[in-house]
Structure 1
């Protein structure tokens, strides 16, 4: 099966549109979150390390993103994302050994 990147277009506060790869949708506490990696003008992953985290939910089958306003909630989401990243790196190491 071919990997196909899922993308989301964000509209920033200045009305600029930013295309992002969906890295993952994950749970932390009682909410789901989405991690987005901005793409450059060529559609390639922007390697400056910025990842955007948003609260994610589906309303009537449609994805809905909302800002994480609470610092404690953001910390919990960021910690869960860091754990996901660590797991991905670990799995890559296992795949290299096979």
Structure 2
């Protein structure tokens, strides 16, 4: 789990979900605002979507694979990505939106 860049406090999984949804949140320990680093957003999206696209392409070309099964698989895959995401986030003291 990520640590506060100001005081080194280790954030919990639920706090990281909240900060990812809101964009920023004060550290529970030192109350200084922390932001999710945005440098990996495009790369992270690529890593999440590409394996599913490649797997779907393989399954449709070699087997009879239906759309309802593909949608169910995609929902499962995205849920797994949301649950595992906070383990890969990084925090920053500054907002990149300036």
TM more than 0.5 = no
More strand by share: 1
More helix by share: 2
TM superposition score normalised by structure 1: 0.26
TM superposition score normalised by structure 2: 0.26
